[in-house]
Structure formats: C-alpha cells, structure tokens
C-alpha cells in the first residue's frame, strides 16, 4: 500500500475514532475529506506504508475520483450506511468509465494518474466487491498497461513503487487465468530496480521466483491436451526440470533469508483461539503450542508468502510425481508431504500476528494467498484446522480483522480454464 502526499504536503490525518465520533453526532452532510481520511487511517497504516512526494501540479484527476469512490464506499460499508454506500458505488461506476476512456487513448498510457487509478480500483475489488473475479480483470488490465509502457518506464519514483506493490496480485491472477505474465521475463525482474538496486528487498526477489509459476501451470495443461504420448513424455521431463529449478531457487532464497533475518521472529505461547485437535492418546491438545511473532509486518509477509509459494509449487510437483507419467525423483522422495505440512503450519502460526496488525489498521493483502495455500496443504485433510482457517477468513471478510471481501470466496476460487476440475488452486 502507498500513501501519496499531495503537492509535497502531508494532509492532516483524522483518526478512525475521531471520524466515528463525528459520524455519531448525526451531522447530516459528511464531506468527502471525512471519507478519505477515515479510509487512510483505517487501511493505510503501519511501517509498510510508503510516503511519496509528487510534483506540484501533477494531474491526478483519475486517481482522485477512484480513491474518493473507494473511500466513500468503504465508509458506507464500515458504518452500514446504505446511502453513503450507494453514493460510493455510483462514484466507482463513473470512475471506471473514465479509466476505460483513458485506456483507449494511447497518449495517456504513460500517465502515472492512469496507472495509479487502476491500482486503486483493484484494491476496491479486493476490499469491497462481491464479484468473485472482479480483481482479476483489473490485474489483467494493469499488466496490459505495464506491457504498453515497458519496464524502462518503471525505473523511477513513484511508478516503480506501485509496480512493486501490485506484482503479486498480477502474478496470482495469471496463475488463476492460466496466462503468461510479462513479469517472468528477465528485463521485468531487473530494469525497474536498475537506478535503486538497494531498494530491491528479499520480498521482491521472492516475487521474482513466484513470477515463474504461471508458466509451470500453463505448461502442465498444455501437456495434458497433447494427443501424442511420446510428446507428453518429453514435455513432462522438461516441466519436471523447470519445477525442480523453481524449488532450488526457493531453497536458496530460504537459506539467504535465514542467514540475514534469523532474529526477525520468535515464538510465544499460542492464544486460546488456537484450534484443538485430538492427539494419538485421544487427548484434546492445541494444534500448535506456540505462535510466531515478527519484528515487523514486512518480515511476517515475506515469511508467509515464501511458505505459500513453496506449497503451491510442491503441490504441482506432487501431481507429476504421482501421475504415473514420470518416475519419482529420488532426491525429493517422501519430502513433499512433510514440507507442505511444515509450510502450512508456519502460515497458521503466523496468523495471529497478522490479525493483530490488521486490527490496528495495517491491512495485509499478503495474508490471503498464504491462507489459501495453508488450506490446500493441511486444512483439507485436517477438518479442525480447515474450519479454523474458514473462521479466520470470516473474521477478515466481516471486518473484525481488516476488511477484505476477497476472503469470502477465497477457498472456492478455481483456475478460470479448468473450473470444477479440482478444489485446489492448482
């Protein structure tokens, strides 16, 4: 998430408590500023928020309309105020029409205002929309615009900040849509950081690896549609090597992360909300004795995204290993189930830290993908943990911890080209 400063000056903030106090006095007309400041205070808080100073006089008409629509709708949802909600939805429709017009004008493709407004609309779909696949169309539109602009246009502030923020959603949309992403190309992994190489964090290097995942799924489905068994065998061997390469990259990344960030997390006793399972002796015990605290939300996000990526790739590897098409790789024999379970458990043990952060106003999109992967790894086979994960998503959906509409249907979402074939994301 980013907070943008206006004309080099920081706007005065109004806390959620103050806004609620104003609202409770039943002032008949609430200003747009109230909605905007409430949304910033409620959603865009914490150390992950970056301030960007934009040049005075920069055109931000599209962004202002998009963010006002988001803020008005969000305020209406939070306060169950139907009139405000309806007003926000009308504003969103108007802002969406303006963005579509701008997309049809090649002279505006390089506009930061257009790029920023699309990112706000994608956030709208994640936070508020009941359309299960609404965010996919915005992510697809974002990638098309990025492709038209090229990687060189993202070398400087503030463009490359938004590029960093939205790479994960674009990549995951391509996994679900079974489409290639430009972000897997070497130039998109290097050029945007060429002027600020020190700004490329371990999270961003992890996203580089994640960017290679859509191609793995596309390759697999292409093989399955081939009528030639000989051709399938050759392509399966290539795919197997590609998957092994991604797993090797993840393992190397993990070694580097552990070496440089070994003290960023620690264990504390598990809360009473921890799911209770029955052990081998028939006794009820917590599913895990401790949960993980982190030095910062950045460290928490990076840890769970790594484990989610590891689960996703290993689930795909399992499909090849047990498909009968290929012999089992002796190097990885028997390791997949244990590693997936450990990764899923790490995500579950990180949930409490994320929920606490979200209750403080630091919204975390980065938790959603890991929650789905934890469900696929251990929640489907362990009904107690599966129900617990569903309850966590319900908290996120209804606003007890953050407010992400996407959480409502996260466990049901399937690839667009193979819906109904499998309950998992892959």
Rounded mean pLDDT, 85-92: 91
Q: Which tokens in the block code for residue 2? A: 């980013």
Please tell me the predicted confidence (pLDDT) of residue 225.
Answer: 84
Total domains present in the chain: 2
**Per-residue pLDDT reduced to its tens digit, 352-384:** 999 888 766 545 667 889 999 999 999 999 999
String of b and e for 146-171 (b: at least 16 CB within 10 Å)? Answer: beebebebbeeebbbbbbbbbbbbbb
- Say if 89 falls within a structural domain: yes
C-alpha 129/C-alpha 287 separation (Å) is 34
Last residue of a domain, one of 149, 183, 217: 183
According to the model, what pLDDT value does residue 132 have? 65
Residues 388 and 348: their CA atoms lie apart, in Å, by 9
How far apart are alpha carbons 235 and 239 in whole angstroms? 6
**pTM of the prediction?**
0.83
Is there a single domain that holds both residue 40 and residue 143?
Answer: yes
Q: Is residue 225 part of a domain?
A: no
| Stretch 291-319: mean pLDDT | 94
Pair (152, 252) in one structural domain: no
**CA distance to 220, 244, 249, 296, 419, per residue, from 323 (Å):** 12, 16, 24, 41, 20
- Comparing CA positions, the residue from 198, 146, 194 lying closest to residue 167 is 146
Residue 218 forms part of a structural domain = no
CA–CA separation, 175 vs 212, rounded Å?
10
pLDDT (tens digit, 9 = 90+) per residue, 219-266? 999 998 877 788 888 999 999 999 999 999 999 999 999 999 878 999
CA proximity to 218, closest of 185, 184, 178: 178
So what's the pLDDT on residue 270? Answer: 97
Residues 252 and 141 in one domain: no
Residue 47 pLDDT level (bands cut at 50, 70, 90): very low
Do 109 and 8 share a structural domain? yes
Q: Mean pLDDT, to the nearest integer, of 24-43?
A: 66
Asked if the model's pLDDT at residue 318 lies above 80, the reply is: yes
Same domain, 155 and 272: no
Q: Which of 145, 166, 183 corresponds to the end of one domain?
A: 183
Is 151 found in the same domain as 11? yes
Domain span at residue 26 reads 2-183
Q: Is the pLDDT of residue 163 over 60?
A: yes
Q: How confident is the model at residue 210 (pLDDT cuts 50, 70, 90)?
A: very high
Residue 212 within any structural domain of the chain: no
**140 in any annotated domain:** yes
| Listed range (32-46, 176-190, 297-311) with the worst mean pLDDT | 32-46
């Amino acid at each position: 998430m980013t907070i943008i400063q206006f004309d080099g000056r920081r706007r005065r903030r109004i806390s959620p408590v103050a806004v609620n106090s104003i609202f409770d006095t039943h002032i008949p007309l609430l200003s747009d500023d109230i909605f905007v400041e409430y949304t910033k205070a409620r959603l865009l808080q914490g150390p992950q928020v970056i301030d960007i100073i934009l040049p005075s006089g920069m055109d931000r008409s599209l962004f202002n309309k998009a963010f006002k629509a988001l803020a008005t709708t969000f305020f209406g949802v939070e306060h169950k105020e139907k009139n405000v909600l309806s007003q926000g939805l009308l504003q969103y429709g108007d802002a969406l029409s303006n963005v579509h017009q701008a997309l049809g004008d090649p002279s505006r493709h390089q506009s930061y205002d257009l790029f920023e407004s699309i990112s706000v609309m994608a956030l709208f779909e994640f936070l508020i929309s009941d359309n299960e696949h609404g965010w996919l169309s915005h992510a697809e539109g974002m990638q098309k615009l990025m492709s038209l602009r090229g990687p060189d246009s993202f070398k400087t502030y503030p463009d490359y900040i938004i590029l960093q923020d939205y790479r994960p959603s674009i990549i995951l949309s391509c996994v679900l849509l079974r489409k290639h992403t430009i972000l897997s190309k070497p130039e998109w992994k290097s050029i945007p950081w060429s002027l600020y190489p020190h700004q490329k964090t371990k999270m961003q290097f992890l996203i580089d690896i994640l960017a290679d995942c859509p191609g793995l799924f596309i390759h697999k489905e292409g093989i399955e549609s081939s009528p030639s068994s000989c051709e399938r065998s050759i392509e399966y061997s290539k795919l197997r090597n590609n998957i092994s390469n991604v797993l090797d990259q993840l393992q190397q990344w993990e070694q580097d992360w552990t070496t440089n960030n070994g003290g960023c997390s620690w264990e504390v006793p598990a809360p009473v909300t921890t799911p209770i399972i029955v052990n081998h002796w028939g006794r009820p015990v917590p599913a895990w004795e401790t949960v993980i605290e982190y030095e910062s939300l950045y460290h928490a996000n990076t840890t769970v995204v790594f484990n989610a990526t590891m689960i996703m790739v290993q689930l795909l590897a399992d499909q090849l290993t047990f498909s009968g098409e290929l012999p089992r790789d002796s190097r990885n024999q028997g390791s997949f189930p244990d590693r997936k379970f450990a990764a899923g458990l790490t995500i579950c043990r990180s949930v409490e830290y994320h929920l606490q952060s979200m209750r403080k106003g630091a919204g975390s999109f980065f938790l959603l993908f890991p929650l789905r992967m934890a469900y696929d790894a251990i929640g489907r086979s362990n009904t107690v943990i599966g129900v617990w994960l569903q309850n966590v998503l319900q908290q996120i959906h209804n606003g007890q911890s953050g407010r992400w509409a996407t959480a409502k249907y996260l466990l049901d979402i399937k690839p667009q080209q193979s819906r109904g074939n499998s309950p998992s994301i892959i």
